[in-house]
Amino acid sequence: MDKEQDKKAYAHAEKAYMHGTMFPYIKVGMQKVNLTPTVNIVNGEKVATPNAPVYIYDTSGPFSDPDIEIDLKKGLPRMRESWITGRGDVEQLPSITSEYGKMRRDDKSLNHLRFEHIALPYRAKAGKAITQMAYAKAGIVTPEMEYVAIRENMNCKELGIETHITPEFVRDEIAAGRAVLPANINHPESEPMIIGRNFLVKINTNIGNSATTSSIDEEVEKAVWSCKWGGDTLMDLSTGANIHETREWIIRNCPVPVGTVPIYQALEKVNGKVEDLSWEIYKDTLIEQCEQGVDYFTIHAGIRRQNVHLADKRLCGIVSRGGSIMSKWCLMHDKESFLYEHFNDICDILAQYDVAISLGDGLRPGCIQDANDEAQFAELDTMGELVLRAWDKNVQAFIEGPGHVPLHKIKENMERQISHCHNAPFYTLGPLVTDIAPGYDHITSAIGAAQIGWLGTAMLCYVTPKEHLGLPNKEDVRVGVITYKIAAHAADLAKGHPGAQIRDNALSKARYEFRWRDQFHLSLDPDRALEYFNEGRHTDGEYCTMCGPNFCAMKLSRDLKNVEGKE
Amino acid sequence: MDKEQDKKAYAHAEKAYMHGTMFPYIKVGMQKVNLTPTVNIVNGEKVATPNAPVYIYDTSGPFSDPDIEIDLKKGLPRMRESWITGRGDVEQLPSITSEYGKMRRDDKSLNHLRFEHIALPYRAKAGKAITQMAYAKAGIVTPEMEYVAIRENMNCKELGIETHITPEFVRDEIAAGRAVLPANINHPESEPMIIGRNFLVKINTNIGNSATTSSIDEEVEKAVWSCKWGGDTLMDLSTGANIHETREWIIRNCPVPVGTVPIYQALEKVNGKVEDLSWEIYKDTLIEQCEQGVDYFTIHAGIRRQNVHLADKRLCGIVSRGGSIMSKWCLMHDKESFLYEHFNDICDILAQYDVAISLGDGLRPGCIQDANDEAQFAELDTMGELVLRAWDKNVQAFIEGPGHVPLHKIKENMERQISHCHNAPFYTLGPLVTDIAPGYDHITSAIGAAQIGWLGTAMLCYVTPKEHLGLPNKEDVRVGVITYKIAAHAADLAKGHPGAQIRDNALSKARYEFRWRDQFHLSLDPDRALEYFNEGRHTDGEYCTMCGPNFCAMKLSRDLKNVEGKE
């Protein structure tokens, strides 16, 4: 990684920490943007009025802290480990327990690929309910819950803004299933965050190699990169060789929750033969990944044998990889899906590690024509049934959603999800509001994402400009993340999240006062803003080459005050 | 201009013309995308089923017709001239009539800058009402009206889709003021198009040099470029030297309606001294530009002396250039704005050339904090009064709107505009739904634009990635136009415009059937899609390197049909 480049990228802000009250050892990292003062001319003299610093929600973890030395080979500090062990309800296993994990561990030919400092996994002690949901239902506020309360409120405390987001509120939302705090006990490097419609809208980024592209290095670099720009969770969708080892590297260096789609790896294990998939292989894969520290699994258990044919009428059939795999399995065996059949078993496993379930929408529409059809909604109904079963086992759960949906059909998606899935958080891919712009699908989907986020979707899965065309490179990841930060923030403003508008106001004030650097430092992508500004060969002073001095509205507008002063 | 590059850009489609019925000499240019057949294996043999060609709305005019030789020095064919003169109600003047125009004409030092083939201007004969609105009110269907009816319906006739858009419907919408057909009789090169909420949502692109940047060549090139990508109208916002000559070159080579903000040029004429602006200078500027062929003027007549102070409370004051100029003028002279005072005179001039008025929103909000405030809505109320006065004089008119508005406040803007401005078309700049993303404001604004377009806004003014930071280059213009085509099309789909979804369906079918080239040819930016696809080093066949053969959902989904066939 280019360390100089990374340092420069964080230079606009300083790392600051806010501390817990219930749990004073909690340190919530923020980006603190210090601003220059506003300078006015009063009676011919310059008078400077300070501008309060702005705290920005920070997903970059230790990577933006100059006091923490980063060594990817050792992984990030295990911040949450003492919180987890301190509760006394988990035990460290003497060995990993998945067959596949053991096989990879014992394969000496993989030594050169392996992350060296693998810790032994934790698991719930027999009979203990150790998920955040279990604690919440028992009335317990965990450090994780206070952490997210502090994190969500950002500038509120400093500026005296009222907020409903207390640690107890966080607890109650998790207990009710309206929010998920993904926190595998085997991913103590992860900084707690929350997914729920009464919180900031989150974004997920996807990384992952396919058969022939990318190396482990590249994937880890992309993971760090996406956290730097603002990804709240990270899905590793790798499907190539060495996904077990790649995943270890990513989790050990990832400050945000990591999600996967275990059926992808299961399919690799049977050499791509869908018919050879079985519950046993899948189960072993779940355990393997639970013990590595994956925080949530996308599980396409909503696909039922009886509903597969509903996609026949479609223009684009089934466009979810997991959905098409499970549909094919059901048809080839003429049986109910083993994910549906074994859903209770799945929950029993996940509850032991506090891994959350993201119910995958295998029948999501892949084009405008197929939006809101019978296949999609039949699956949503099944997911509503499954989410109750997950909650019964104290497993945190959320629901994945489309896809491709025109603007006027988005609302029905959200309303139906809320009612049929009992307020479980919704996690959508866009949706794309038109099919006609390959190469720009970060934009077609951000339009839908902002809309559905405003209506209540808790997390948005990002889309890069390469969607439908190829795998994203680093620049695509950056553009995808920023685009989705825009959609999420637009939704936060529209929902009236406490303090969300502080950053907009600070930036706009800087703009109006020609404090260019402050404007850039407050923006989602300071480097890009500065780059474009510099291209313009701007003159200094209270206007720029965009309009020239005679036509700068803001300059004229500020002059008005002087005109009025004369009256 | 790079002719080879331009030819390549159009290669994915062929120019096709649809002919008029009422006026058989009408030829409406379209982009016709021919598709390859769908190939299925039936009983072991390949069976090809043809796919109907898709017609795409085309703003590129003669530039995409290989049979028309383009010579920028001569300008485009004057297609509408015979339609205009054929009505017998206009006369060609013996000379231009503006003082400034004459001065520039007689200045020999400008000879090297001048467009050579300037025609003498047309003007209404005394007592004749020659605007499209006047004809519409009189029950007359003009060739311009049939032209737009054909243009709006695109594929409907070929595919037997019912449509409400007949020439008579176009006429009635114009008569009611719900739609504007900008068509200066001195811009006969322009292809008729319509702006109204019962039609396709349109997009405007801005070009224009400022004091020190860009040459005439560059501006003409940008104009042609923006039409190529899909700009429906073009605003020339030039403020530097030689704007008179630059404008002539642009209009003579522009196949879409051209708009300007005459106060910019008026201010140049008084060397940037706002206090020296006067009705006489402004009036001469209007006539100068009417006779050159500008199709619509942004006029900030909604700013009233009594309302200027309403912007004092704002975070960002006044961010419209025209708005800040007129506000300053009002304050310096402590008088009502001459634009408001002389509004009837303005309409009398414009009616003689059929120039439309775009009532500029000088008090539009420039940040989230200032959205929907008293200043903004006071101006909107004034615009509602002015639009009735314009219609009384048979002048077509529409209303400009914001700006910066969070998602949840967009609806109020649209509803208030419709009710207070008597259904006149709304023409908005975005709105941007957050302030925090300089460098990505094409995206922050496309989110708002799609939303307000769906709710009824008739035309969207594009925003490029350089907004707030610098002047756009060609690539920025391209990205801005495509982004706004996305927003406009998303709105068309949501509004259910007849046939809008045909292109989405054709593209998605091509995608599902791995007809990659067809997919690209149907997309908004075929070159970009192909470029990204090629970066991926794709293998041929029914999958790509994105997912590899084992994980391609579409391949699996298509395989399902075979599985089911076996049952």
Residue with tokens 């269907």: B141
Asked if A414 has any chain B CB less than 8 Å from its own CB, the reply is no
Average pLDDT over residues A137-158: 95
* Best residue in B414, B475, B560 for a mutation probing chain A (most A CBs within 10 Å): B560
d(CA B459, CA B150): 19
Residue B7: inside a domain, yes or no?
A: no
How far away is chain A from the Cα of B471, in angstroms, using its nearest Cα? Answer: 5
d(CA A529, CA B467): 10
**CB distance B504–A436 less than 8 Å?**
yes
The tokens describing B297, both together, are 């003027």
Q: Residue B267 half-sphere exposure, CB side, CA atoms within 13 Å? A: 27
Task: Assign 3-class secondary structure to B296-319.
Answer: EEEECCCCCHHHHHHHHHCCCCCC
Mean pLDDT across chain A, nearest whole number? 93
Task: Give A 334-373 residues with CB within 8 A of chain B.
Answer: 334, 366-369
Indicate the residue type of B75. G
Asked if A229 has any chain B CB less than 8 Å from its own CB, the reply is no
* Best residue in B314, B556, B558 for a mutation probing chain A (most A CBs within 10 Å): B556
Check residue A318 and give its pLDDT. 94
Residue A305: inside a domain, yes or no?
A: yes
d(CA A502, CA A515): 17
Look at chain A and report how many structural domains it folds into. 1
> Is 90 exceeded by the pLDDT of residue A463?
yes
The tokens describing A420, both together, are 């049929």
Check residue B547 and give its pLDDT. 65
Compute the CA torsion angle B84, B87, B88, B89 (nearest 10 deg): -80
d(CA A203, CA A207): 13
Residue B336: inside a domain, yes or no?
A: yes
Helix axes A501-512, A553-566, angle to 10 degrees: 70
Residue B109: inside a domain, yes or no?
A: yes
Q: What is the pLDDT of residues A391-425, one digit of tens each?
A: 999 999 999 999 999 999 999 999 999 999 999 99
**CB distance B324–A560 less than 8 Å?**
yes
Contact (CB, 8 A) for A321 and A265: no
Residue B66: inside a domain, yes or no?
A: no
Chain B residue nearest residue A468, CA to CA: B546
Q: What is the pLDDT of residues B76-95, one digit of tens each?
A: 999 999 999 999 999 999 99
| Of A32 and B551, the one with more pLDDT | A32
pTM: 0.96
Contact (CB, 8 A) for A366 and A376: no
Check residue A313 and give its pLDDT. 93
Q: Which of A157-166, A322-331, A481-490, A536-545 has the lowest mean pLDDT?
A: A536-545
Residue A237: inside a domain, yes or no?
A: yes
Please list the residues that pair with B427 across neighbouring strands: B400, B459
Check residue B251 and give its pLDDT. 96
Q: Which of B213, B469, B558 lies closest to A532 in CB terms?
A: B469
d(CA B510, CA B135): 44
Chain A partners within 8 Å of B454 (Cβ): 407-408
How far away is chain B from the Cα of A211, in angstroms, using its nearest Cα? Answer: 6
How far away is chain B from the Cα of A213, in angstroms, using its nearest Cα? Answer: 8
Print the domain residue range for B312. Answer: 80-495
Write out the DSSP string of A86-105. Answer: HTS-EEE-SS---HHHHHHH
Residue A22: inside a domain, yes or no?
A: no
Q: What is the pLDDT of residues A552-567, one digit of tens each?
A: 777 777 777 666 544 3
Asked if A436 has any chain B CB less than 8 Å from its own CB, the reply is yes
**CB distance B408–A494 less than 8 Å?**
yes
A515 burial type by CB count under 10 A (0-12 exposed, 13-18 middle, 19+ buried): buried
The tokens describing B293, both together, are 């062929």
Check residue B562 and give its pLDDT. 64
Check residue B1 and give its pLDDT. 41
d(CA B89, CA B130): 7
Question: What CATH number is associated with residue A206?
Answer: 3.20.20.540
Contact (CB, 8 A) for A480 and A207: no
Asked if A243 has any chain B CB less than 8 Å from its own CB, the reply is no
Which parts of chain B have pLDDT scores under 70? 1-11, 209-214, 537-550, 561-567
Contact (CB, 8 A) for B561 and A309: no
Contact (CB, 8 A) for A33 and A56: yes
d(CA B514, CA B446): 30
Q: How many Cβ pairs within 8 Å bridge chains A and B?
A: 388
Asked if B272 has any chain A CB less than 8 Å from its own CB, the reply is yes
Q: Residue B119 half-sphere exposure, CB side, CA atoms within 13 Å? A: 19
**CB distance B536–A466 less than 8 Å?**
yes
Chain B partners within 8 Å of A464 (Cβ): none
Residue B6: inside a domain, yes or no?
A: no
Q: Is B321 annotated as a binding residue?
A: yes
